[in-house]
Amino acid sequence: MAETRIQTRVPDDLAAWIAERDERMHTGTVHIQARLELGMWRSALAAELRRIRLTLNQANCLADILNGALITPGIAGSAPVVAMEAADAFHLARQTPLPGEPPYGQKWDIDEEALTKYLLSLGPTADHALHDAVSRWWETTAEATVEGWASVGLTVVPGAPDAAE
């Protein structure tokens, strides 16, 4: 397996944290520990994404809302980005509708309030994983199908609207 070297400078507090974890985990060096931490982060995102359940209409609604939205690098102590984006979009579509555009709930046959509540229940890692999955879905130009969402790791369930709640 080929490996690529990635180098970066980190703040002293992050370096100390990695060194301390290296000591407790006995990985040998901070370089190995940093690689392991990246792998654990990737696994955590994948695990959280596997736990999320949305209907196809809910997933497609979120794709509609998050189209072009940048993924932010921070998560600790931040507001749930996907929930806030969705709630804001739902509110704006009802308060200042575009001519000929129905509100998202009507357009996608979903319960906006129930979806917002579900998204607010996600932890910060799950929120980031969902935002990343939607971004990758747009990048790969996958189809708006159960299979298309599965190609980026998101489990969507076909069937009745809001069945995932």
Query: Does one domain contain both 108 and 30?
Result: no
Query: Does one domain contain both 60 and 40?
Result: no
Determine, yes or no, domain membership for 92.
yes
pLDDT at 163: 45
How far, in Å, CA of 136 to CA of 61, rounded?
Answer: 15
pLDDT at 57: 96
Residue matched to tokens 């996907």:
82
Query: Does one domain contain both 146 and 73?
Result: yes
| pLDDT digit string (tens) for the chain, length 165 residues | 788 888 889 999 999 999 999 999 999 999 999 999 999 999 999 999 999 999 999 999 999 999 987 887 777 567 789 999 999 999 999 888 778 889 999 999 999 999 999 999 999 999 999 999 999 999 998 999 999 999 999 999 876 545 444
Query: Does one domain contain both 96 and 135?
Result: yes
**Count of the separate structural domains present in the chain:** 2
Range of the domain at 107: 54-157
Q: Roughly what angle, to the nearest 10 degrees, separates helices 56-66 and 124-140?
A: 80
Query: Does one domain contain both 44 and 111?
Result: no
pLDDT at 53: 95
